[in-house]
Structure 1
Amino acid sequence: MDTQPEVPRIVVGVDGSPSSQTALRWAVRYAGLVGGRVEAVTAWEVPGEASWSAPAVDAEFDEEEAQRLLVEEVRDVLGEDGASQVHERLVHGHPADVLVDAAAGAEMLVVGSRGRGGFRRALLGSVSQQVALHAPCPVTIVRPDVSAG
């Protein structure tokens, strides 16, 4: 019986921050090296539930609009060709929980060191710190690309 090896799945947290954009680019490069596929995951919470939300999701949440913004974010960061290689997922829940769950069975989880959270003064970033502690796979925390800005 000839079975094909499973393609490595690389999960990356995307929240619209410069740090997550750098993490997305890093995840795509890594996936290219290992022959993997990238799954860009954005978590959303109803405003008022917590201090973090999906890209540009504020007082009036529209799931369809948020999904469109996620796809647009990936396209803006990677270009049309790069974006075609990424699967985007919008999931309801706390970002750290969503990413840890999404990482089940993944080869790697990639996150930026700081996101869009309301408490930007946190040392590492609460989401990156939580996924580093609880993810079921290796985690890469990507620092912002200081040469880009």
Structure 2
Amino acid sequence: MLRTITVGLDGSRESRAAAEWAAREAQLRDLPLKIVHVWEPVPEPMAQAPLLGTETQQHWTERIPREAAEGISLRHPGVEVISEQLSGHPGDALAETAKSAELLVLGSRGLSGIGGFMVGSVGLSAVAHADRPVVLVRAMEVAADEHEPDPVGIPSAATPFLPVVLGLDVEHPDETLIEFAFAAALLRETSLRVVHGWNPPPYYAYGAPANPALHEALALNDAEALAEALRPWRQKYPDVEVVEVSRYGSAAVHVVEASRESSLVVVGRRIRRSPFGAHIGHVTQAVLHHSTAPVAVVPHS
């Protein structure tokens, strides 16, 4: 089955920004763009009201994806655009439709005055349950934000892409996650900045800050582990320039800092078959809420 770049659209400013990002990504990957609009059925008492009923809701559910598809086709004439309407809980429906997608793209509100996202329940649910990568895009995201500034200091779609940032746990370097990040950098013809945050083991915790030699030895060990994890991928993707960053402290903090000069941040979500439901992980959760660049969450075993 031909995969698509799928975007969830509800008519909001956030989802329209996501649709624009998804259209650019579809163009990069030479894939169709599928616009998905999910509506929850109106409860029976409300369905009888003329302004809230089924006919009114059907009108809007048809108009939103149709108008979005028309606009994207005009702005991105090389992209094949498909629209689909689904009913049910948005988070569940989007996670289900993501199974046939290369990527699922969702909008997320930018926090006023602060760089970062406000990730709603639908977005978190889709991220936690989707079997395919999910990208969250801020409402304020524009194409120029992903590119380097030109000689006069103005970024534009005509200048090179900013680096792709990968947050990597060297103790569990999953192949799916790493390959996604390398492929994204290759696609954008940009570099890949791999960020790893480390902390000393609990039994070293009290001694490390006061012992420079021990601290240096631990830092060297983690830097070597990062280089070893990336060695086969450097060979597989020789055209991708790789910058390795291994720093003491919170991984989430370092990834968020790196996001300020990136076109895309890539983080992982470990798939856990737990009776207590899916989990996102504290580092990925923090990056989702505070990154200033689009964030791709890649599920992996």
TM-score range, shorter chain: 0.7 to 0.9
Note if 1:141 corresponds to 2:121.
Answer: no
Cα gap change, 1:82 to 1:60, in 2 (>3 Å): farther
Report deviation, 1:64: 5.1
Does the CA contact (< 8 Å) of 2:11 and 2:64 recur in 1?
no
User: Taking CA–CA contacts closer than 8 Å with sequence separation of 6 or more, which of the two structures ends up with the larger relative contact order?
Assistant: 1
Q: TM-score, normalised by structure 1?
A: 0.73
Does the CA contact (< 8 Å) of 2:7 and 2:18 recur in 1?
yes
Report deviation, 1:60: 2.0
Does the CA contact (< 8 Å) of 2:73 and 2:80 recur in 1?
no
- RMSD over aligned Cα, in angstroms? 2.7
1:58-114 per-residue CA deviation (whole Å, 9 max, x = no partner) reads 6122365222332023334x2536487211111111111110111113111000014
Residue in 1 aligned with 2:62? 67
Does the CA contact (< 8 Å) of 1:7 and 1:35 recur in 2?
no
Does the CA contact (< 8 Å) of 2:26 and 2:33 recur in 1?
yes
Residue in 1 aligned with 2:115? none
Give the one of 95, 100, 122 matched to 1:127.
122
Note if 1:95 corresponds to 2:128.
Answer: no
2-side partners of 1:60 and 1:31: how far apart?
35
1:28-58 per-residue CA deviation (whole Å, 9 max, x = no partner) reads 1001001111111011112349xxxxxxxx6
2-side partners of 1:38 and 1:104: how far apart?
15
**Runs of 4+ with deviation above 6 angstroms:** none
Does the CA contact (< 8 Å) of 2:10 and 2:64 recur in 1?
no
Unmatched runs of 5 consecutive residues or more in structure 1 = 1-5, 50-57, 115-122
Residue in 2 aligned with 1:120? none
Unmatched runs of 5 consecutive residues or more in structure 2 = 45-50, 110-117, 143-301
2-side partners of 1:47 and 1:133: how far apart?
26
Q: TM-score, normalised by structure 2?
A: 0.38
2-side partners of 1:88 and 1:96: how far apart?
18
1-side partners of 2:7 and 2:16: how far apart?
10
Residue in 2 aligned with 1:39? 34
2-side partners of 1:93 and 1:109: how far apart?
17
> What is the total number of aligned residue pairs between the two structures?
127
Deviates more, 1:78-87 or 1:59-68: 78-87
1-side partners of 2:76 and 2:66: how far apart?
12
Report the AA paired with residue 83 of structure 2. Answer: E
Does the CA contact (< 8 Å) of 1:11 and 1:38 recur in 2?
yes
